[in-house]
Amino acid sequence: MTNETPPDAHRLSPLWRRLALGLFLIGCGGTAAELLLLEHFEDPWQWTPIALLGAGFAGGVVLAVHATPGAFRVFRYLMWLFMPAGGLGMYLHLKSNVEFERELNPAVGGFDLAVDVLMGAMPALAPGHMIQLGLLGFLVMLRHPALLKPGSPQSGGTE
């Protein structure tokens, strides 16, 4: 009896990969639609998530139809952009809420200000969804057969 792992043990199930990609596409499409309906395009910074979500959606469709190493490379770069965009969005939302709350009540500070900022007019943590979508995109690519080099331990081949 040997302790060898089967060659396919390092691969994720194609079903799970398709489900993750489907969730990614739904997340991108739904979030972009919501931002457009909320008229989230007053200044160039507000266009950033809409543009990234559109590019991510297009990249996900390309992966679903034709998963090539080049398509994965572009998709990977997009996922790296999703995460700082989410962090920047959270910063901008929080900053806007702080300014708004200080305008309403200049004396507020400390814990009360923090609570008011988090419960403010702008959804302070909503841009974090971009980070979540970026991480989901990385899961879609995790150990994908199109990215494995022939002969590597994960590929199961010996070419």
Span 21-60, pLDDT tens digits: 999 999 999 999 999 999 999 999 999 999 999 999 999 9
Q: How far apart are CA 41 and CA 73, in angstroms?
A: 29
How many C-beta neighbours within 10 Å does residue 135 have? 14
**Tokens 């090539």, located at residue:** 68
Span 50-104, pLDDT tens digits: 999 999 999 999 999 998 999 999 999 999 999 999 999 999 999 999 999 889 8
The whole-number pLDDT of residue 11 equals 59
What is the dihedral angle through the alpha carbons of 132, 58, 93, 115, rounded to the nearest 10 degrees? -30
Q: Are 67 and 141 a contacting pair, CB within 8 Å?
A: no
CA–chain centroid gap for 106, Å, is 36
Indicate the pLDDT class of residue 10, thresholds 50, 70 and 90.
Answer: low
The whole-number pLDDT of residue 3 equals 59
3-state secondary structure of 73: helix
